[in-house]
Chains A and B, each alone.
Chain A
Amino acid sequence: MAIWLARLSVDRWRLSHGCEPGEGPDAAPTALIEETAHGPRITAANRAGLAAGARPGMLLADARALCPGLCAVPCDPAGDLATLEKLSLWAQRWGPWSALDPPGGVLVDVTGVAHLWGGEAALLADVARALAGRGFGARTALAPTAGAAWALAHHGPPGAILTPHDDLLRSLADLSVAALRLDEGVLAVLRRLGIKRVGDLAGVSGAHEDPANAAAARDALARRFRNHRSPAANPLLRLDQLLGRVPEPLLPVSARPLPMVTRRLLEPLRHRAPLDRVIADLAQDMMRTLEARRQGARRLELALWRVDGEVLWRRIELAAATRDSDHMIRLFAARLDTLEAGFGIETVQLRASWTEPLAALQADLDAAAEHHGTALAGCIDRLSVRLGAEAVTRPVLRASHIPERAQAWQPPLDPVHAASHQPACHAPRPLKLLDSPEPIAVLHASPDGVPQRFRWRGTVCEVARVEGPERIAPEWWRERSTARLRDYYRIEDGAGRRYWVYRQGIAGDGRGGLPEWFLHGLYA
């Protein structure tokens, strides 16, 4: 179903003055004008103006020449479009969805709903009655396709109805080619070609049927408009859309209700403290509502229904879109001091009548961490990001007797293998291991004996107590055949410092010269 509000802007202007057609300001010839490069141009005129000779598209100066008393009023295309949006939402009372058809048109899908209104004719009568009740003059038409309905609404008889059983092409053949929703330039081309009616375009003019003639006409037009991809520039495409041979997707309008939260109270509130509590709850709800829609409020309206039916309004406007509930509460708290509760407030409603998109922000990330501390994963993420992933590790034990191989460093949150809880050997190990064993100069009683004294990092340590050796053989399946064994000694010097030193190899093992000594670890 197509609804065409042919005089939408004029009707709006008249309704803004609150007068009936032909009365008050509407009685004088008036034209709605827009400013163009060549001066003010008329976009629409009321009945008296049309009668006086003003036509849409005419320059105001020309119209003044015809009718010196013509009133000029600036037009309001944005307001017209907003009105049309509201009307198209309102038109969903007749069908499940509706689409905008600017300027001044609404398309409603009424497939299978006509019987609810008592038939197609009764449906169109209801539309006309409802629109007339709102003060708009409208032309309506009902057809199987949107294009056909539009053509009938704009160029057909009023209240035209086509059913799927009718032959669309035959019924619409007499309409002007302007009924195909084409651009001005294309219409001019068609006029020059001598194609005036839809029937001419389809090659079905006259009473006789000639398929060969129709196909030839179509081929010629297809060649002529082969580079025109847009439906509005290609009459054949429009014709096919009108006949339903190709689909014509329409963009339906859908309502977005205002973010609105309400609390109905069990007992009327007469005191400020419980009201503050209710408003805090409402602000929290509003924050969640806005968050779900990814919007922030620019204007908030608080309505308080009193028991005696009075409604108290408090309105705040915000400098930037926000959904911070604490901010809302603070702002409203300053505005509630002058509230007259009377016999009590029974309903409180908060709505955001102006919202703007506001992306989701982690605003309180640091604040939450400040209060409750971070979780382990978050902490490790922060550390890894700054220090590098390899800097944050967890030591795990491995099945090896070589001290360097006996532990591995793995990412801290990876699962630990259960077998790695027990060390491979039970001899006491130092608390610290040097990354690379440092060579020490050792004085010993015999080449294979215990050390007596050694020099490490420039200081001489007298060995007081020794335990060892603990012999660790090289892992022959991994290392070269020349790898030497290690004899580890736990050493405590005179001051109580405890070291873990080893001698690499034994004299005469055939894998090198005299064995060397290394300091490998520090005991606690």
Chain B
Amino acid sequence: MSPALPFARVLARALPESRWRPGLPAPPFHSEIFAPAAEASGAGLALALARDALTSAPQGEADAGLRHVLWVQERAAIRRGGRLCAAGLPPDIRHRLIHVAAATPEDALFALEEGLRCRDFVCVIGEIAGNPQALSFTASRRLTLTAERHGVRLWLVRLDARPDLSSARMRWQVAAAPSPPPRWNPAAPGTASWHAELFRARAHAPGEWMLSDDNGTLRLRRDPEPAATPDHGDLARPTVGRSLAAVARM
């Protein structure tokens, strides 16, 4: 046994399920993500976790790529954190997203529960601002039971909320983190990065991670590795036709 082995790998081998990592096969059905309303980190992490769950789903859910995604936003959440932008969504989600703008937290909870009951939704993402009276422990327990009965996963983003009583199986606290500088323009903002803290989970030990959304897959970011991987960024687009210079030379 080499003493230089990273600690995380030793721990992962000893207790395979106790430490969370992206790509675990069966994420819980009800997770809560606490995030500030002035940044889109909560929605971004929810989306990244949802896509991570989709890609790491077992082969039985072969039609998961065809089913819809329900995104419920309460009015206060829209006012504070903005409405969803279709052009900013990943292309595999964009065409199968159904958006619900609920006027009150009660309506949002109703929409979340109805979405969890529907077999044509692959997952449900909700955004509720603050600590409304309607979102009590009973309401969250209701959501958990419905999600577990029907097998539809729910990520509930709580904007500017205290972590009150909840029956969510995983509870995250997320904030934006400085992004890794892109290779070709270090002065520009890079890929989305978050500082995520798992402060309560039923199957995993609490912990903190730096997560980043690397071109659609959720990755752990241990330490910045400048120029270790080629960052194609926007240059990955294929060239179509000839450039004007080439045309002029002909």
Partner-B contacts on A (CB < 8 A): 369, 372-376, 378-380, 382-383, 386-387, 391-397, 403, 406-407, 409, 412, 416, 421, 423, 425-435, 456-457, 459, 464-467, 490-492, 494-498, 521-524
Contact = CB atoms under 8 A, between A and B. Distances in A.
Interface in B44-65: 44-45, 47-48
Contact of B189 (A372, A425, A492, A521): A492
B202 interface: no
Interface stretch (B9-17, B34-42, B132-140, B164-172): B34-42
Contact of B120 (A379, A497, A523): A379
Interface stretch (B24-32, B78-86, B242-250): B78-86
Contacts of A423: 86-87
Contact of B176 (A373, A403, A412, A495): A495
Interface in B81-104: 81-89, 91, 94-95, 97-103
B178 A496 contact: yes
B133 to A, nearest CB: 19
Contact of B82 (A369, A375, A434, A467): A434
Interface string B152-191: 1000000000000000000000011111010001011110
24 contacts: A369-B117, A373-B120, A376-B120, A383-B111, A387-B103, A387-B111, A391-B101, A392-B99, A395-B86, A403-B87, A407-B86, A423-B86, A426-B237, A427-B234, A429-B88, A432-B82, A432-B83, A434-B83, A435-B82, A467-B189, A497-B39, A498-B176, A521-B85, A522-B39
B192 interface: yes
Given A394-B98, A427-B234, A432-B82, 6 more contacts: A375-B118, A383-B111, A387-B110, A397-B94, A421-B91, A467-B189
A412 B190 CA distance: 33
A378 to B, nearest CB: 8
Contact of B187 (A376, A428, A435, A465): A465
Contacts of A457: 38
A379 B118 CA distance: 6
Contacts of A374: 114, 117-119
B141 interface: no
Contacts of B190: 492
Nearest to A396: B86
A464 to B, nearest CB: 7
B148 interface: no
B204 interface: no
Nearest to A377: B120
Nearest to B118: A379
Contacts of A397: 86-87, 94
Nearest to B195: A496
A497 B38 contact: yes
Contacts of B126: none
Interface residues of B, number: 60
Contacts of B197: none
A374 to B, nearest CB: 5
Contact of A421 (B39, B95, B107): B95
Contact of B97 (A387, A395, A430, A435): A395
B115 A379 contact: yes
Contacts of B187: 465-467
Contact of B43 (A379, A432, A494): A432
A387 B107 contact: yes
B213 A524 contact: yes
A132 to B, nearest CB: 69
Contacts of A407: 85-87
Contacts of A430: 40, 85, 88
A423 B87 CA distance: 6
B178 A464 contact: yes
Contacts of B97: 394-395
B68 interface: yes
B52 to A, nearest CB: 14
A376 B68 contact: yes
A524 B85 CA distance: 11
Nearest to B75: A391
A375 B119 contact: yes
B34 to A, nearest CB: 16
B150 interface: yes
A375 B120 contact: yes
Contacts of A425: 87
Most buried by A among B39, B152, B181, B192: B39
Nearest to A494: B178
A466 B95 CA distance: 30
B182 to A, nearest CB: 9
B193 interface: yes
Nearest to A456: B38
Contacts of A492: 178-179, 189-190
Contacts of B95: 416, 421
Contacts of A432: 40, 43, 81-85, 88
A498 B176 CA distance: 8
A349 to B, nearest CB: 40
B189 A490 contact: yes
A392 B40 contact: no
Contact of B192 (A393, A412, A464, A524): A524
B115 A395 contact: no
Contacts of A459: 38
B114 A429 contact: no
